[in-house]
Chain A
Amino acid sequence: MSEQTTSTAAPDTTTGGGADLHIVDVTKRFGSFKAVDDLTLTIPSGSFFALLGPSGCGKTTTLRMVAGLEEPSAGRIVIGTEDVTHKKPYKRPVNTVFQSYALFPHLDIFENVAFGLRRSGSKDVRNEVEAMLELVELSTYARRKPTQLSGGQQQRVAVARALINKPEVLLLDEPLGALDLKLRRQMQIELKRIQTDVGITFVHVTHDQEEAMTMADTIAVMNAGQIEQMGAPMELYENPVTTFVANFLGQSNLIKGELTGRAGGDATLQVQGQRMAMPTARVHSDRDEVWVGVRPEKMQISRAGTPVEGENSMTGVVTDASYIGVSTQYLVNLPWGQEVSIFAQNLSTEGPLSAGEDVVLHWNPAHTFALDATQDADAGAEKVEGDE
C-alpha cells in the first residue's frame, strides 16, 4: 500500500484492533437436531482463527450466530465486553464475507463497498472507499457491476465491503469455496496479508483443511456440533487427540495396540506382538486399548532385512506403489491383513520399490500418537467436498 495522502482514510492499522470473541455454552437446535452442541470458545483479539469441519458439523451455524443471523437456543456470545447474544445483526460490531459473496447486483463496486459506511453515516465515504479499493487492488473497477468481475475480484470486493466498516471481528464463511484451486492459493496469501495489515480478528469457516492450515494461527476442528480439538495447525497435525482429527486433518495410519506401561516420559506399547515405544505426552487415552497412529509421511520404507535401531518397526509386503514425482505413495499389507499407506520421498537412485516386495516400515517413536480405541478408526476419513 502507498503511504501518502490516502493513509488517513485507510483502515486503522496501528492499534491492532479487534476484540476477543467469547462463545459461551452455546447450543443451537433446529427442531430436534442439535447443530451446535454446548460450544464454548474464546477467540483472542487480532488472531486469524479457523473453524474447520465437514459439511453439517455446525461451523457455519456458529458463524451465523456470531453474525446475528441465527439466534442461539442457549448460551451467550460476547464480543469484547459486550453481550451481543440477542442483538440484531445490524447492531453488532461484526461483518461477514458471505459464501459466494452476496454482492449487491444492482450496485456498482464502489456502492457495494460503500454500503455499510452509508448506513452508519460516515462523513468521508468517498475517500474511505477509494482507500479500501486500493488495499484490495480494485481501484480501476469502482464503476463496474459485480457480474463484470472475475470470481477472485468479486471475492476481494466482498472482503473490502466487510472490512471497510472496521468491525471488531470479521467473519468469513467459506470465502474461497467458489474459486478454482490456483486462485484459491493466491487468495489465501492475499487474505493473510490483509489480516496482518489491518490486525482485526478474523474468524474463518472452511471445510478445506489445507486452507485452514495455510492461513489460520489457531484452528478449531468441529464435528457434530462440538469442538474435537483446538490449537495451532502444527500441533493439530502432529499430535491429534481424536481419530476424527487424525483422519480429517491429513491422513493417518491407525493400528490396534495395547499400552503396557506409561511410566515417566516414555510409554511402551504392544502392537501385534511387537514392542514399541512412544512419548507419554502423546498418549490421548485413559484406557490401555489404543489406536497407535503414525502419519504416512513419517513412516520410512526399506527392503526387508534393513537394520532399524531405536525405531518402531514392522514388516509388510508392498501391494501398490504409485510414483507421483515428488514422492511415491505405497500401500503396504501388514501380516495381520491391515493395509497402511506411506508417502516416501524419492531419495534413492534406484527408483521405487515395486509391488510384491517384502519391506520393513520404521519410524521415530516421537512421531507415534495413541488414541482411545473406543473411537471409530474411520471417523473424519470421508472427506466430501461441498458446502453445508
Chain B
Amino acid sequence: MSAAPVPGAASAAPADDVARSVGTKSWTPYALLSPGMLWLAIFFLVPTVMLLRMSLSSGSAFAGDGTFSFSWGALQWGNYGDAVSKYVIDSPIFQKSLIYALIATVLCLTIAYPLAYTIAFKAGRWRNLLLVLVIAPFFTSFLLRTTAWSTILSDSSIVVQFMENTGMLTVLHAINTPDSWPTWTQIFPDGLTGETRVLQTPLAVILGITYNFLPFMTLPLFASLERIDVRLIEAATDLYSSAFTAFRKVTFPLSLPGVVAGTLLTFIPAAGDPVNAALLGAANDSLMGNAIDAQFKATGNYPLAASLSVMLMVVIVTMVALYVRRAGTEELV
C-alpha cells in the first residue's frame, strides 16, 4: 500500500467513529425485532409451555369437575405412555402420518421441480401468468378445494374409471402391508387403493395433501432456480457437460436451498394435517391431526391430546434438524 506514516493516529479516529455510531444506534435492531418477538412470545412460546404443562397433567374436560391438575411432584408421564401404546403400537397412526406426508412431499417435489424449472427458464413472457396460476388456488377455500377432490376421485369419475380400466388400480391395490406383519407396521392394510375405488383410501389422502401443498413446494423452488445465473449453465456446457450433466452438476446443486425450503414447507404441515384425511380418507383411517382433534373435541382428554402434539413436534423437529444438516445448505451461497 502507499505511504502510511502514522498508522496509529490515522486509524484511531475512524475506529472511534465506528464504535460511536454502532453504540448510539444499538437499540435499533431490537426495536425492529420487538413486534415479532412479542408475537412469538404470546402466540408461540406461551402456548408451547401451556401445551407441555398440559401433556403432563391429569384430568378430563368432560369428566369430574372438568379441571386439570398439574404438579411437579406428580408429572403424568403416563400420558406419553398412553400416546405411544395407542397411536404407535396398537394402531400405527403416528407412523402413517409421517409416511403419508413423506410420500406426498416426494410427489410434490416430482411435480413441482419440472414446473418451477419451466417457469424459471423456459416460460419467457408467460412466466408471470404461470406464477399467478400456481397461486390461484389460494383464492378459494382450502376446505372447498379438498372437497372438490372427492368429486374428482369419486367412483364414477373419469380419473378413477381410467385408472381401473388401465389396471392401475389393481397394481395400487396390491401395494399393501402383509397381514403377517405386526400391528405397528400396518400402514396400508387394505392396499394403497381399493380394487375399484380411490376415494376413502390412503391414495386419496396422499393425493389431497400433494395437491394442497404443491404451491408451497413450487414457490421456493422457483425462487432458487430463478436466481441461478444462466451463464453458470453455459459455463458447464462449455466445459464438456451435456445438458443433463449440466443440470446434475450445476443447476440441481444450486437449487438445493429451494428443495430444502420446499420440502420443509410441505412435509411439516402435511404431517399434522387433519383436513385431507377427514374429507378424503376412510372413516377409520385417521392421521395424527385427526387423532389430536378427536382427543381434544370428542373425548376431552386434553392431556393425551397435548402429549400427542408434543410427540409429533419433537419428532418433526428432530427429522428436520437431521435433514437440514445433511442437505448442508449453509455451504451454499
Q: How far is the CB of A67 from chain B (nearest CB, A)?
A: 6
Q: How far is the CB of A12 from chain B (nearest CB, A)?
A: 18
Establish whether residues B333 and A89, one from each chain, have CB atoms under 8 Å apart when the complex forms: no
Chain B contacts with A in 231-270, Cβ cutoff 8 A = 231-232, 234-242, 245, 249-250, 253-254
Q: Which of A98, A120, A147 contacts B235 (CB 8 A)?
A: A98
Establish whether residues B234 and A98, one from each chain, have CB atoms under 8 Å apart when the complex forms: yes
Establish whether residues B250 and A104, one from each chain, have CB atoms under 8 Å apart when the complex forms: yes
A residues less than 8 Å from B241 (CB atoms) = 90, 115, 119
A residues less than 8 Å from B65 (CB atoms) = none
Interface-central residue, A67, A89, A100, A162, by most chain B CB under 10 Å: A89
B residues less than 8 Å from A103 (CB atoms) = 235
A residues less than 8 Å from B17 (CB atoms) = none
B144 interfacial by beta-carbon distance below 8 Å: no
Residue interface mask B73-90, A partner, CB < 8 A = 1:
000000000000000000
Establish whether residues A88 and B237, one from each chain, have CB atoms under 8 Å apart when the complex forms: yes
A106 interfacial by beta-carbon distance below 8 Å: yes
Closest to B229 in A: A102
Closest to B230 in A: A102
Establish whether residues A102 and B231, one from each chain, have CB atoms under 8 Å apart when the complex forms: yes
A residues less than 8 Å from B238 (CB atoms) = 67-69, 89-90, 94-96, 98, 162
Closest to B237 in A: A89
A365 interfacial by beta-carbon distance below 8 Å: no
B63 interfacial by beta-carbon distance below 8 Å: no
Q: How far is the CB of A355 from chain B (nearest CB, A)?
A: 34
A116 interfacial by beta-carbon distance below 8 Å: yes
Q: How far is the CB of B40 from chain A (nearest CB, A)?
A: 32
Chain A contacts with B in 114-160, Cβ cutoff 8 A = 115-116, 119-120, 145, 147
Residue interface mask A69-89, B partner, CB < 8 A = 1:
100000000000000000011
A residues less than 8 Å from B333 (CB atoms) = 105-106, 145, 147
Establish whether residues B250 and A116, one from each chain, have CB atoms under 8 Å apart when the complex forms: no
Residue interface mask A145-186, B partner, CB < 8 A = 1:
101000000000000011001000000000000000000000
Establish whether residues B231 and A98, one from each chain, have CB atoms under 8 Å apart when the complex forms: yes
Establish whether residues B237 and A104, one from each chain, have CB atoms under 8 Å apart when the complex forms: no
Q: Which of B231, B240, B242 contacts A116 (CB 8 A)?
A: B240
Q: How far is the CA of A98 from the CA of B234 in the complex (A)?
A: 9
Establish whether residues B332 and A105, one from each chain, have CB atoms under 8 Å apart when the complex forms: yes
Establish whether residues B234 and A102, one from each chain, have CB atoms under 8 Å apart when the complex forms: yes
Q: How far is the CB of B15 from chain A (nearest CB, A)?
A: 24
B residues less than 8 Å from A104 (CB atoms) = 232, 235-236, 250
Q: Which of A89, A106, A116 contacts B254 (CB 8 A)?
A: A106
Known: A98-B231, A106-B331. A115 touches B236 (CB 8 A): yes
Which of under 10, 10 to 19, 20 to 34, or 35 or more describes the interface residues of A? 20 to 34
B residues less than 8 Å from A69 (CB atoms) = 234, 237-238
Closest to B249 in A: A115
Q: How far is the CA of A69 from the CA of B232 in the complex (A)?
A: 12
B residues less than 8 Å from A165 (CB atoms) = 239-240
Interface-central residue, A67, A90, A116, A161, by most chain B CB under 10 Å: A90
Closest to A89 in B: B237
Q: How far is the CA of A165 from the CA of B238 in the complex (A)?
A: 11
Q: How far is the CB of B224 from chain A (nearest CB, A)?
A: 12
A residues less than 8 Å from B245 (CB atoms) = 119
Closest to A64 in B: B234
Establish whether residues B239 and A105, one from each chain, have CB atoms under 8 Å apart when the complex forms: no
Q: How far is the CA of A99 from the CA of B232 in the complex (A)?
A: 11
Establish whether residues B237 and A90, one from each chain, have CB atoms under 8 Å apart when the complex forms: yes
B residues less than 8 Å from A162 (CB atoms) = 238-239
Q: How far is the CB of A294 from chain B (nearest CB, A)?
A: 38
A residues less than 8 Å from B235 (CB atoms) = 96, 98, 102-104
Interface-central residue, B232, B235, B333, by most chain A CB under 10 Å: B235
Establish whether residues A106 and B332, one from each chain, have CB atoms under 8 Å apart when the complex forms: yes
Q: How far is the CA of A374 from the CA of B305 in the complex (A)?
A: 91
Establish whether residues B240 and A90, one from each chain, have CB atoms under 8 Å apart when the complex forms: yes
Interface-central residue, B231, B242, B333, by most chain A CB under 10 Å: B231
Chain A contacts with B in 339-373, Cβ cutoff 8 A = none
B residues less than 8 Å from A94 (CB atoms) = 238
Q: Which of A98, A119, A145 contacts B240 (CB 8 A)?
A: A119
Known: A104-B250, A106-B332, A145-B333. A120 touches B234 (CB 8 A): no
Q: Which of A67, A89, A95, A102 contacts B232 (CB 8 A)?
A: A102
Knowing that A67-B238, A120-B240, A161-B239 touch, tell me 10 more A-B residue pairs with CB under 8 angstroms. Answer: A89-B237, A90-B238, A96-B234, A100-B231, A102-B235, A104-B232, A105-B254, A105-B333, A115-B236, A162-B238
A residues in contact (CB < 8 Å) with B: 67-69, 88-90, 94-96, 98-100, 102-106, 115-116, 119-120, 145, 147, 161-162, 165
The 4 A-B residue pairs whose C-beta atoms are closest, nearest first, are: A116-B239, A119-B240, A102-B231, A102-B235
Can you list 23 pairs linking A and B with CB atoms under 8 Å apart?
A68-B238, A69-B238, A94-B238, A96-B234, A96-B235, A98-B231, A99-B231, A100-B231, A102-B229, A102-B231, A102-B235, A104-B235, A104-B236, A106-B254, A106-B331, A106-B332, A115-B236, A115-B249, A116-B239, A119-B240, A119-B241, A120-B240, A161-B239
